[in-house]
Amino acid sequence: MEGAGHVVVRNYRAVVEYDGTGYSGFQIQSGKPTIQGELERALRQITQEDVRVIGAGRTDAGAHARGQVISFRTGWSHGPEALQRAMNAVLPREISLREASEADERFHARFSATSRLYTYNIYESDVRAPLLERFAYHVPIALDLGAMDRAAACLVGEHDFAAFGQPPLGTNTVRVVYHARWRAKGAVIGGGYKPGAIRLSRFEIEANAFLRGMVRRIVGTLLLVGRGLLTEDGFAEILSSRDIRRAGVPVPAQGLCLWHVRYDEERSCGQDVWAWCGWP
């Protein structure tokens, strides 16, 4: 579209990766460091414009992203590759534009998305592993991953997820989950289950949208199943109850990652994600 002075304002789309440890989430907040705030600061520095960034998902304080998608409009005229290089030169080292391109005028990072894929990483070990702590949650006992995976299967489909979160806007708590599963890395670091050994596992959940705190509360409740404190049927009953007081305590944010956002032109979010998040 044409702006003042015949400047052509273009719609851009970018994929952002970030380590959210030191940030108060994605969404801009007065007086607090946020991912959106840093992106808008960088765009202002580069384009000399006040550019509003729209994100596909509002990640929690301390949570991470490998595939956060943003959209924004700017009169930048040097092309997306130059914009990506310029942004990565001025952004903090915890934030990077992995891709950048011009988008259709109708593209909106949030409203055009058809699903989001989140992962949650845990490691089981009798002692903490400081090099994993930034991107995974420590569980000091062995878990029944099979029971956790079977319990998670009841999440698939259209359900009212009021037991696991609050709506960011309005009162609708119904969401559609396309897949939910636990997967172990396979090998145990250190060999067997001798003292100091580490087993890595990951929860994957893809849905059309999420409630606030939904993934972390689901994982916290599934960990009760893995510890033998809740049955698989008991987990399903909590989902059906719509009573958030019955759910487990939400797990910490550091294990949570917005891995991928899917749009109409894409087929699936499923990917091998073991090569990231500090996994050896």
At residue 185, the pLDDT reads 76
* φ/ψ (deg, to 5) at 99: -145, 155
Report the amino acid identity of residue 124.
E
User: What percentage of the chain exceeds 70 in pLDDT?
Assistant: 89
At residue 195, the pLDDT reads 58
Residue-wise DSSP of 197-236: -EEEEEEEEEES---BTHHHHHHHHHHHHHTTSS-HHHHH
How far is Cα of residue 239 from the mean position of the Cα atoms in its chain? 21
Over range 70-82, report the average pLDDT: 96
Q: Is pLDDT larger for residue 110 or for residue 170?
A: 110
**Mean pLDDT computed over every residue of the chain:** 91
> Boundaries of CATH 3.30.70.580 in the chain?
4-102
At residue 16, the pLDDT reads 98
Report the amino acid identity of residue 187.
A
pLDDT at 3 over 50: no
pLDDT at 154 over 90: yes
Over range 39-59, report the average pLDDT: 96
Over range 104-128, report the average pLDDT: 95
Over range 27-52, report the average pLDDT: 96
pLDDT-based confidence at 193, cuts 50/70/90?
low
Residue keyed to tokens 């699936």: 268
CA distance 76 to 237: 53
Model-level pTM?
0.90
The class that CATH gives domain 115-263 is alpha beta
Tell me the per-residue pLDDT of 215-241, one tens digit each, with 9 for 90 and over.
999 999 999 999 999 999 999 999 999
From 225, 115, 220, select the one nearest 175 (Cα to Cα): 115
pLDDT at 279 over 80: no
Q: Is 278 exposed, middle or buried (0-12, 13-18, 19+ CB in 10 A)?
A: middle
Over range 153-176, report the average pLDDT: 96
Q: Which residues does 58 contact at the CB level (< 8 Å), separation at least 6?
A: 25, 26, 27, 168
Which DSSP letter does residue 164 get?
A: G
23 near 91, Cβ under 8 Å? no
At residue 100, the pLDDT reads 97
At residue 32, the pLDDT reads 96
Q: What architecture is domain 4-102?
A: 2-Layer Sandwich (3.30)
Over range 36-48, report the average pLDDT: 97
CA distance 181 to 161: 17
Tell me the per-residue pLDDT of 124-135, one tens digit each, with 9 for 90 and over.
999 899 989 999
At residue 197, the pLDDT reads 82
Residues catalogued as catalytic:
60
CA distance 156 to 165: 16
> Lowest-confidence range among 1-5, 111-115, 190-194?
1-5
Radius of gyration of the chain, Cα coordinates, nearest whole angstrom:
20
At residue 6, the pLDDT reads 74
At residue 269, the pLDDT reads 44
At residue 222, the pLDDT reads 98
